[in-house]
Homo-oligomer: A and B are copies of this chain.
Amino acid sequence: MEREEVNIQFSKSTDYALHALIHLAHSEHRHNIGIKELSATLGVSESYLSKVMSKLRRDGIVRAVPGVNGGYELARPAEQITFLEVIQVIEGRQQLFECSTLNSQQHRLLAEEGAAERDRDCQGKSECLVKKVMDGAEEHLYQYLREHTIQSVLDEAFQR
């Protein structure tokens, strides 16, 4: 009874990624910020942060150059990098909610009231009533995360 279960939460990797990108954006006059500086700034190991940065690179959010004076920089203007995009790159693109129950429950409901012509499958189709609400919630959340960018955070930091 010591620990409550933990579940619906963004991963630490997402945290690292967002903070790293903000640091890059804030240092844009300089070029090629190395993993050493990034990991020291965030207080995270170089080896782990490297993995996160590699993902960001593979998805075209940052550019990376090896070698002396190498490092990372944003691949695009900070106002074109949304929170949603970063989160999806790191967390993957699965949906907030997947229906795992049988097709029985909600379809019995529908069938009994004479809407029996609908599909018979609850797995991911739009027929599941619970999923319908959750999909709405997801779109709601995503819309918010689309409206916030790396740049908008910087703007806010400088009280405007």
Residues of A near any B CB (own CB < 8 A): 4-12, 14-16, 18-19, 22-23, 26, 41-44, 83, 87, 91-102, 104-106, 108-110, 113, 115, 129-130, 132-134, 136-137, 140-141, 144-145, 148, 153-154, 156-159
Contact = CB atoms under 8 A, between A and B. Distances in A.
Given A101-B43, A144-B140, A157-B106, A130 B19 contact: yes
State the oligomeric state as a number of copies. Answer: 2
Nearest to A139: B144
A133 B99 CA distance: 29
Contacts of A141: 137, 140-141, 144
A132 to B, nearest CB: 8
